[in-house]
């Protein structure tokens, strides 16, 4: 275990302007760091495949009406099943979205958005967070990083990145084989094939232990939803901290 505090929080890329609950995690981490010192680590779970995670809810600057924006993706397979770091953004999406943003955010953030050079959803979100100053002094560790995956412990409940229909998809390993969730109780079975540790990521229930074998954090900041499902017994050495409250937590911070 590290001699000095390692203050960690985890989150999928959650909008090209981050949701306010993620902003609150950054703020909580900085407050805690000012009290106890140490390093802040953002565990970016960019291996998640749910396209809903990157929905960005903005309010109109004049009417205050909410609008939900999101990335477009190159095809249906990517949108449904590819991990966020492999969901490619089609040409034209950035320019089209930028033309809408002036009604919702300050001109400086429209310009920052235009300047992002990224070809996939995860990279785009992270670059935008950098331009907003959120990542200053923060070490980002990504679940897509092959070195992270090699260093992590093995888990019995996992997803595996596999080829399918000309793309790479994130399949759940269920009943001895890879499956793609099609909604409800419906799954599409993929052929069983060999895979390496670099293709494996954890499920929600095994993520904490998987992450902790790499990060060795001393403190973990979690929102109310996480507190309900985190298997704290998997990492008794961690001090769990509630993130600071914030209103309209699902809306975008900008």
Residue-wise pLDDT tens digits, 174-202: 999 999 999 898 999 999 999 999 999 99
Q: What is the Cα–Cα distance from 244 to 251, expressed in whole angstroms?
A: 16
Q: What angle do CA 181, 18, 73 make, to 5 degrees?
A: 45
Sign of CA dihedral 100, 103, 109, 111: positive
The CATH number of residue 124's host domain is 3.40.50
pLDDT of 165: 97
The 10s digit of each residue's pLDDT in 196-236 is 999 999 999 999 999 999 999 999 999 988 888 888 899 99
Contacts of residue 244, Cβ cutoff 8 Å, sequence gap at least 6: 24, 27, 28, 31
What pLDDT was estimated at residue 231? 87
Residue 33 lies inside a defined structural domain of this protein: yes
Q: What is the pLDDT of residue 159?
A: 98
Is 98 a domain residue?
A: yes
Looking at residue 224, its pLDDT comes to 81
pLDDT over 70 at 1, yes or no: no
Which residues make Cβ contacts (< 8 Å) with residue 79, sequence separation at least 6?
A: 51, 73, 87
Q: Cα–Cα distance between 116 and 85 in angstroms, integer?
A: 15
> Per-residue pLDDT for 132 more than 60?
yes
* Rg for the chain, CA atoms, rounded: 19
Share in percent of the chain as helix, strand, coil (round to 5): 35, 25, 40
Residue 178 lies in a domain: no
pTM comes to 0.95
In tens, the pLDDT along 57-95 reads: 999 999 999 999 999 999 999 999 999 999 999 999 999
Count the domains in the chain.
1
Query: In this structure, is residue 193 part of a structural domain?
Result: no
Residue 16 lies in a domain: yes
Residue 95 belongs to some domain of the structure = yes
The residue segments making up the domain with residue 57 are: 6-146+207-242
> Does residue 179 lie within any of the structural domains?
no
């Amino acid at each position: 275990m590290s001699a000095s505090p390692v203050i960690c929080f985890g989150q999928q890329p959650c909008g090209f302007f981050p949701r306010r609950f993620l902003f609150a995690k950054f703020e909580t981490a900085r407050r805690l760091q000012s009290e106890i010192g140490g390093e802040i680590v953002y565990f970016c779970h960019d291996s998640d495949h749910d396209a809903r995670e990157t929905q960005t809810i903005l309010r109109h600057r004049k009417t205050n009406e909410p609008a939900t924006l999101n990335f477009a993706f190159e095809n249906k397979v990517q949108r449904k099943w590819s991990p966020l770091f492999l969901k490619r953004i089609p040409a034209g999406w950035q320019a089209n979205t930028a033309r809408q943003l002036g009604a919702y955010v300050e001109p400086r953030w429209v310009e920052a958005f235009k300047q992002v050079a990224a070809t996939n959803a995860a990279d785009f979100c992270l670059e935008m967070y950098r331009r907003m100053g959120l990542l200053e002094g923060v070490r980002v560790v990504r679940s897509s990083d092959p070195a992270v995956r090699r260093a992590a412990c093995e888990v019995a409940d996992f997803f595996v990145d596999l080829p399918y229909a000309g793309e790479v998809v994130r399949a759940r390993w269920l009943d001895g084989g890879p499956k793609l969730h099609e909604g409800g109780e419906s799954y599409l079975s993929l052929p069983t094939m060999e895979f390496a540790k670099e293709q494996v990521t954890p499920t929600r229930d095994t993520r904490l232990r998987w992450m902790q074998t790499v990060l060795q954090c001393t403190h973990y900041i979690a929102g109310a939803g996480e507190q309900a499902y985190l298997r704290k017994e998997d990492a008794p050495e961690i001090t769990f901290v509630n993130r600071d409250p914030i209103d309209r937590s699902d809306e975008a911070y900008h």
